[in-house]
């Protein structure tokens, strides 16, 4: 392990295999001497380092040798990546539809569950805060009105934008997506909050409900 640490110190991950990278990242959570085998089990099960970090807790815990501590630590590393990677987006201005697509593509790129995000915007459409307001398996995500109002009140803001993903689906709004958006738009409008747009992310594509004229 000291040899891998020396390589990382000199050239970061350059020259290291995926097995060595994962072993280095999980070193302090892996029981010894089974650590190398557990890393091999993870890569064999999911096929690549990226897929390991895209896996759900329920999938990770099924891998031989992976306990709750290791599974949660992998999820922790993934979420930490999201925080660091998306930090610059906190000042992202979502006035144009193209910028909205880019923003939410980055936010949802590694999600394997269906997630609904809400971005709270200031009057100039700059992102003040963005977070998950609902999460579930594909096709089962339910809108959490309490969470939505809680987030809006904490910022506070008068404009919001929502986005959700179809992890294994098409970049096309379902009838339920449209009805849910119209309901939210009416509900928030009654308390003085404007729902500006709804962005759907599927794979490497994103579409805007405002662009599709479905919000009116």
pLDDT, tens digit, 9 for 90 and up, residues 51-88: 898 888 999 999 999 999 999 999 988 888 766 665 55
Could you read off the pLDDT of 19-49 as tens digits, one per residue?
Answer: 888 988 888 888 888 889 999 999 999 999 8
**DSSP codes of every residue in the chain:** -HHHHHHHHHHTTTT--HHHHHHHHHGGGS-TTTHHHHHHHHHHHHSSHHHHHH--HHHHTTSTT--HHHHHHHHHHHHHHHHHHTGGGGG-B--SHHHHHHHHHHHHTT--SEEEEEEEE-TT-BEEEEEEEEEESTT-----HHHHHHHHHHTT-SEEEEEEE-TTS-SS--HHHHHHHHHHHHHHHTTT-EEEEEEEEETTEEEETTTTT---
Q: Which tens digit of pLDDT belongs to each residue from 106-145?
A: 888 778 888 999 999 999 999 988 888 888 755 556 788 9
Domains of the chain, by residue range, sit at 2-84, 86-208
Q: Which tens digits make up the pLDDT trace of 168-189?
A: 778 889 888 899 999 999 999 9
86-208 has CATH 3.40.140.10 classification: yes
| Residue 195 neighbours by CB distance under 10 Å | 22
Q: Contact, 175 vs 213, CB < 8 A?
A: no
Q: Determine whether domain 2-84 maps to CATH 1.10.150.20.
A: yes
pLDDT at 7: 67
Q: Which residue, 153, 150, 148, is CA-closest to 184?
A: 148
pTM exceeds 0.85: no
Give the pair of three-digit tokens for residue 178.
């449209």
CA–CA distance, 136 with 134 (Å, rounded to integer) = 7
Q: How far apart are CA 73 and CA 164, in angstroms?
A: 25
In tens, the pLDDT along 181-216 reads 999 999 999 999 999 999 999 988 999 998 876 554
């Amino acid at each position: 392990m000291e040899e891998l640490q020396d390589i990382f110190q000199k050239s970061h991950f350059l020259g290291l295999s995926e097995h060595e990278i994962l072993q280095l990242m999980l070193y302090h959570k892996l029981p010894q001497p089974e650590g190398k085998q557990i890393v091999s089990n993870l890569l064999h099960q999911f096929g690549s380092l990226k897929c390991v970090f895209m896996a759900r807790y329920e999938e990770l815990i099924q891998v031989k040798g992976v306990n709750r501590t290791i599974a949660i630590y992998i999820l922790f590393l993934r979420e930490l990546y999201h925080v660091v990677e998306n930090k610059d987006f906190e000042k992202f201005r979502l006035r144009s539809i193209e910028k909205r697509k880019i923003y939410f593509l980055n936010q949802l790129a590694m999600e394997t569950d269906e997630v609904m995000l809400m971005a709270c915007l200031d009057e100039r459409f700059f992102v003040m805060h963005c977070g998950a307001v609902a999460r579930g398996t594909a096709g089962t995500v339910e809108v959490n009105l309490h969470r939505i109002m809680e987030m809006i009140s904490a910022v506070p803001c008068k404009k919001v934008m929502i986005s959700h993903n179809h992890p294994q689906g098409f970049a096309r709004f379902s009838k339920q997506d449209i009805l849910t958006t119209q309901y939210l738009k009416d509900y928030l409008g009654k308390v003085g909050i404007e729902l500006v747009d709804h962005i759907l992310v599927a794979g490497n594509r994103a579409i805007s409900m405002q662009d599709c004229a479905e919000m009116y």
